[in-house]
Chains A and B, each alone.
Chain A
């Protein structure tokens, strides 16, 4: 029997994979992809709670799904701006490797 806990654990594992990607990888594009993984993990737990917490009329609570809609929209805007920044950076430095970008390093 699949319970709410199963979905939350799977969501947490996906979030951890994304988090490890941000921590371990040094390629800016891969870091952006890992950020997307984390946002989607949050979406999964939101939808699971939406299905778990029914409205009085017996339908899922749609507030969470509206929230997921907003998250997807913001994530799309974020990816577009992030990739534009990476392209602008690549023009100047010819690299997408974070260890080569040390102008602000103290």
Chain B
């Protein structure tokens, strides 16, 4: 992938990711999240992970975002009114986040492999759906079935929570 495209998509992802946090209107936040995830899917494809990139667009930009927008519509949330901001708590949160970022920079800076470029691929990854599927049903069969049960339990739980009276 040309470096220019990497920077464009990385910048797109980070700017709209920040817009999610900064926007006061929940609808604007949700739509920024869609753009951020599309940039992330492009980065996945730049790493030759086409299956993961497509799943990202389908599941996140498709399904999860519709869920978010539907709930925002259902609750009729407006842009938040400006409340009194607790400056001490905000500064503390920002400080912790910056400390985390500094630590990530430090660890990646000291990582030897981080300076190396990606080794060239020998084959083509256009059939990675087949490879991932084989691995999923072969090596990771038990976790796959457990995830299936998890999704079932989540479905039952959501239906139970959405009933009018929770007993």
Residues of A at the B interface (CB closer than 8 Å) are: 1-10, 12-21, 23-27, 29-30, 32-34, 36-37, 40, 43-44, 47-48, 50-52, 54, 57-60, 62-63, 65-66, 68-70, 72-81, 83-88, 90, 96-97, 99
Contact = CB atoms under 8 A, between A and B. Distances in A.
Given A30-B20, A88-B162, A77 B151 contact: yes
Contacts of B96: 19, 23
A37 B67 CA distance: 16
A85 B132 CA distance: 34
Given A2-B6, A51-B47, A66-B135, A80 B154 contact: yes
Nearest to B23: A30
A91 to B, nearest CB: 8
Given A2-B3, A8-B108, A76-B63, 15 more contacts: A2-B1, A3-B117, A4-B118, A9-B104, A10-B43, A12-B105, A16-B97, A20-B97, A30-B26, A33-B30, A50-B49, A62-B132, A70-B143, A74-B147, A80-B67
A3 to B, nearest CB: 5
A63 B135 CA distance: 8
Contact of A37 (B17, B104, B132): B17
Enumerate the 3 nearest inter-chain pairs by beta-carbon distance, A residue then B residue, closest first: A58-B122, A23-B93, A5-B114
B8 interface: no
Contact of B121 (A21, A34, A60, A63): A60
Interface string B69-105: 0011011010010010000001011101110110011
Contacts of A33: 20, 29-30, 33, 68
A84 B56 CA distance: 22
B161 A88 contact: yes
Given A2-B3, A29-B71, A70-B147, A84 B157 contact: yes
